[in-house]
Structure 1
């Protein structure tokens, strides 16, 4: 559990205990709406929700689920971080109530058009994490990054990397590229960024999976890529900020559209969100956004829900949980290295949730 969140819970518990003691001698028998069951907006909900999908936002979703228990004690929410590809497939097969995805739904995902809605939740940076003894600061342009990940550049002292890092002593260490082995929205966004920012330099295309060179190494989920980088001198991989920090990885600053090298951060992510165009279905793309302080590999993430559940109680559960996530849950985001939605997009997401039918 995130330390900031834990500290907040401890303080909240102390405050509640103090209030309880203060009220012992009171003759005021009035109660707040919702009573002991928690917030009146959620206390009457009851049942179970089962979901799967993207590992990119998993730390955030798990924290929201834990907090949701405090206001909806009769609801059980389970989210299994299987990767975006598997999540979309399971959603299409009716095996889960909703799915997390960092990439948009395609015909090949088995999800029927007009049967689902996108609900944006948070955004976060995809780090370029590396393990290179003696080098604790590194900056990379999109063109150099593209050459590294398609293995055109094979050692860390390559001229292109040196050009991005004047004055830095780089070793002649072989580069080991780590990537996702499963269908992944993180892969989709990372490769979409390279396609947009590196242009014709990037040869591998984009998608939940791409044909990585045979010499590269695959890891399952963001945590699997993080472990390869952690354990291998010379390794480099793309990992969400939350998992990169949890694994104590070092990550590079990336050259943005304005020519500035920017390290991954919540502030840089928020700056990247400001210029993103929002489509009518609430999908949006903040990758390679303009702005001097924008982190260029800023990725969105979504929950996909059914337009109609054929079950009023199930629909109310989904709506209740997502309403909590988009309201109270947004306050948790920065503490777990995610950026909350801009206010205008949050309101549109809440309106999207209200479209869900029983």
Structure 2
């Protein structure tokens, strides 16, 4: 199932879903009610806009299974989602970046549950120029303002035979705290020696750049601005019809942001004990180098047992049956080994 989330949900992804763990081989009757029925009630999440297409589709799909548990997900960005999680304003948070000391997690301990992954595209608006290729150092220098026109020799060097205009480059970036920003800048920081702006949910971009709220906002800036370049999730780039550059990977190959190239990056990623992992600039000739994981943050303790049961069932659906709809919505499902670890961590976190 593929969902046009903008037409249905706009800024807030809302739907109804519930999940009987017994139906998917996990849990027991105590997880779903005294009689084994699916949980009813309401749970709410907020956070990353990067996985919004997948979460929206999953919520809609599960509504057909059980309408008795209402789930809302507000795609406000990873930074806000983590802060709201720490303040106890949501039941779960979506994030593409890891929790830092300043993310406000005073509400207690938490568990990462990986859900899906996707490439961060480098999208651009340059009429007449297709098949753009950018090496890693050139990409870094574009986004930190050291390269300011499209016919710069550094860009021309990897685009032989392409007529590049002298159009000024406009950088499009996230204006809100964003895991997409964190992963994109982390890639530039780790993969190159020239990047100087650091990494994180927010960085100080060069003067004259334009910020957009959420991935949809960045896509809109690029669409409306000739000469613009920005970083956008694959779902928004595809739905908006943006051109995407091929980016040099660790092996020196220029790779388009496809799900196949994303899966190749996931296969080589090392998973940490807390289930976080880093697929950026992964080895392999076929890997796309800017691949972002996304996670659900769970509390390790919930005051309301019904909320806990609802969160457990919803997240279990995302990492089991819900994986089947990931690719239709421009996301790569988890490798089997990581999915199994995620299910185990979920059951250990919410008994």
Q: 2:315 aligns with which of 311, 314, 322?
A: 322
> 1:86–1:183: 8 Å Cα contact kept in structure 2?
yes
Match status 1:259 vs 2:239: no
- 1:3: how far off? 6.8
Q: 1:54 aligns with which of 48, 55, 71?
A: 48
Q: Which residue of 2 aligns with 1:129?
A: 123
Residues in 1 aligned to 2:199 and 2:58: alpha-carbon distance in whole angstroms: 31
Q: Which residue of 1 aligns with 2:237?
A: 244
State the secondary structure of the residue aligned to 1:147.
helix
State the secondary structure of the residue aligned to 1:354.
helix
> 1:127–1:241: 8 Å Cα contact kept in structure 2?
yes
Q: Which residue of 2 aligns with 1:14?
A: none
Aligned residues: CA RMSD: 1.8
> 1:315–1:356: 8 Å Cα contact kept in structure 2?
no
Which consecutive unaligned segments of at least 5 residues does structure 1 have? 6-32, 35-39
Q: 1:300 aligns with which of 284, 293, 316?
A: 293
- 1:114: how far off? 6.0
- 1:353: how far off? 0.7
Match status 1:2 vs 2:13: no
Shift >4 Å, 4+ stretches? 40-43
Residues in 2 aligned to 1:190 and 1:268: alpha-carbon distance in whole angstroms: 17
Residues in 1 aligned to 2:336 and 2:203: alpha-carbon distance in whole angstroms: 35
Q: Relative to 1, partners in 2 of residues 1:117 and 1:69: Cα closer, same or farther, differing over 3 Å?
A: same
Map 1:195-274 to 2 at 5 A: 195-199=189-193, 201-274=194-267
Q: Deviations over 1:102-146 (max 9, x none)?
A: 000011001149610000000000000000011021010110000
Residues in 1 aligned to 2:347 and 2:92: alpha-carbon distance in whole angstroms: 15
Q: 2:97 aligns with which of 90, 97, 103?
A: 103
Which consecutive unaligned segments of at least 5 residues does structure 2 have? 6-21, 24-28
Q: Which residue of 1 aligns with 2:19?
A: none
Q: Deviations over 1:67-103 (max 9, x none)?
A: 1112221010000000000000000000000000000
Q: Deviations over 1:48-74 (max 9, x none)?
A: 111100000001000001111122210
- 1:291: how far off? 0.3
Q: Relative to 1, partners in 2 of residues 1:311 and 1:356: Cα closer, same or farther, differing over 3 Å?
A: farther
Q: Which residue of 2 aligns with 1:11?
A: none
Q: Which residue of 1 aligns with 2:9?
A: none
For normalisation by structure 1, the TM-score amounts to 0.88
Q: Which residue of 1 aligns with 2:170?
A: 176
Q: Which residue of 1 aligns with 2:26?
A: none
Q: More helix by proportion, 1 or 2? A: 1
- 1:198: how far off? 1.4
Q: Aligned pairs, how many?
A: 325
> 1:53–1:87: 8 Å Cα contact kept in structure 2?
yes
- 1:311: how far off? 2.1
> 2:43–2:311: 8 Å Cα contact kept in structure 1?
yes
Q: Based on CA coordinates, which of the two structures has the bigger radius of gyration?
A: 1
Q: Which residue of 2 aligns with 1:309?
A: 302
For normalisation by structure 2, the TM-score amounts to 0.90
Residues in 1 aligned to 2:297 and 2:347: alpha-carbon distance in whole angstroms: 14
